[in-house]
Amino acid sequence: MEPKQIREGYLVKKGSVFNTWKAMWVVLLEDGIEFYKKKSDNSPKGMIPLKGSTLMSSCQDFAKRMFVFKITTTKQQDHFFQASFLEERDAWVKDIKRAIKCIEGGQKFARKSTRRSIRLPETIDLGALYLSMKDTERGIKELNLEKDKKVFNHCFTGSCVIDWLVSNKSIRNRQEGLMIASSLLNEGYLQPAGDLSKNAADGIAENPFLDNPDAFYYFPDSGFFCEENSSDDDVILKEEFRGVIIKQGCLLKQGHRRKNWKVRKFVLREDPAYLHYYDPAGGEDPLGAVHLRGCVVTSVESNPDGRKGDEENLFEIITADEVHYFLQAATPKERTEWIKAIQVASRTGK
C-alpha cells in the first residue's frame, strides 16, 4: 500500500554535497519526504526517512536566510529547507512533526481534531460558521494590527472573534465561545499570528484559543502576512514596495527571451498594485516587477510556446503596456486563487 501524501509544494533545499540552495518540488508522505528537481519529474532526486528523525523549526544556522527548518535523520544527516514566508514554514513544520509523532506511535497520519476532546453541540456546523465569519459585510473585520515593531496584515484579535460569536448569537456566553473558537482553530479555520496566540495553540496556555485583545488570528486564505517595521526614520521605500502584501508563494515563470521555465517567488502587493518576483534560493532584491494597474489576467489552457510539456494550471498576465507574462501554478485551486487576488489588486491599486 502506497504511503499517503500529506503535503506538497515548492521549497528551497540546501544541497548535501555543495552548499548551494535550489528550489525543489517537495512531497511529504506518511513515512518520509521526497524532493524532485521539477514537479513533472516521475522519480525523486532524493528521499528523507522520517522514522527516528528530529525537526528544528526555527533554524538559525544561516544568518541571512529566513524561514528555514532542519530535519536530522537517525544517521545524523542534516537536511535544510527554506519556505517563502513564515506561515508556509509553520504549515510544513506542523505536518512534519505530526507525521513523525504518528510513526513513533504506530498510527496513521491525521491532522489534530478537537471534536474528540471538545464536545460541540450538534447544531454547530464549523464550516458554515467559518463562511459567516468571512462574510465581507457581516463577518469579522480584517485589520492591520501592530505589535512589537511588527505589522500583522489581514488579521483580527481573539477578543474580536468572541465578540462576533456573541453578537451573532452563535453562543450563550464567552466560555462557550472559547470552546467554539478552539475548535475552529484546531480544525484549521483560524490560524494563530504572533507569539502569544501561537504559544497558546501549541499547548503552553490552558486554552488553545485566547479571548485577548493582544492575541492575533487570521483566516488561512486571507493573504495574511507579518512585516517587520524599521525604526530608522531615514528608510524610504520605493513607491512600488509601499503596498500591503496580500499574497505570496512560488510559481513557475516563463522567461521572455529563452522561453524556459523557472521557479520564482512571487509577492503580490496592492495600492499600489505590483507583483514582484525573486530568486527563491536567495537575494533580497527582486528580479523584476509587474505593474498590475489596468492589467488583464486569464487562465491559459495550452503552452504559450507551442511545445509539448506540462501544460496544466497556466495563466497569463497582460499589462496595460501589453507585456505578456506566462505563469504556472501547482494546482487548479492555486491558479484560481492567484487569478482572483491579482484581479482584485489590479482594480483597487494605483
The answer to whether the CB of 272 falls within 8 A of the CB of 349 is yes
For the chain, the C-alpha Rg in angstroms (whole number) is 21
Poorest-pLDDT segment among 203-212, 250-259, 302-311: 302-311
Write the pLDDT tens digit of every residue in 211-258: 999 999 998 766 677 776 544 433 344 677 777 788 999 999 999 888
pLDDT, average across residues 54-82: 86
Q: Which of 113-117, 239-243, 258-262 has the highest mean pLDDT?
A: 258-262
For residue 273, tell me if it sits in a domain: yes
Q: How many domains does the chain have?
A: 3
For residue 113, tell me if it sits in a domain: no
d(CA 209, CA 223): 21
CATH number at residue 156: 1.10.10.10
Domain's final residue, options 226, 255, 286: 226
- Size of the chain, expressed as the number of residues it contains: 350
The residue range of the domain holding 19 is 5-105
Estimate the share of the chain in helix, then strand, then coil, as percent rounded to the nearest 5: 20, 30, 45
pLDDT score of 242: 74
For residue 201, tell me if it sits in a domain: yes
- Indicate the SS3 state at residue 154: strand
The answer to whether the CB of 189 falls within 8 A of the CB of 176 is no
Whether residue 93 sits in one domain with residue 65 = yes
Whole-structure pTM value: 0.61
d(CA 192, CA 200): 9
Count of Cβ atoms closer than 10 Å to residue 245 Cβ: 20
CATH number at residue 54: 2.30.29.30
Whether residue 247 sits in one domain with residue 215 = no
Terminal CA-to-CA distance of the chain, rounded, Å?
Answer: 53
d(CA 104, CA 101): 5
Whether residue 148 sits in one domain with residue 76 = no
Whether residue 87 sits in one domain with residue 40 = yes
Task: Determine whether 276 is exposed, middle or buried from the number of CB atoms within 10 Å of its CB (0-12, 13-18, 19+).
Answer: buried
Average pLDDT, the chain: 84
Does 307 have pLDDT greater than 60?
no
Poorest-pLDDT segment among 57-61, 146-150, 210-214: 57-61
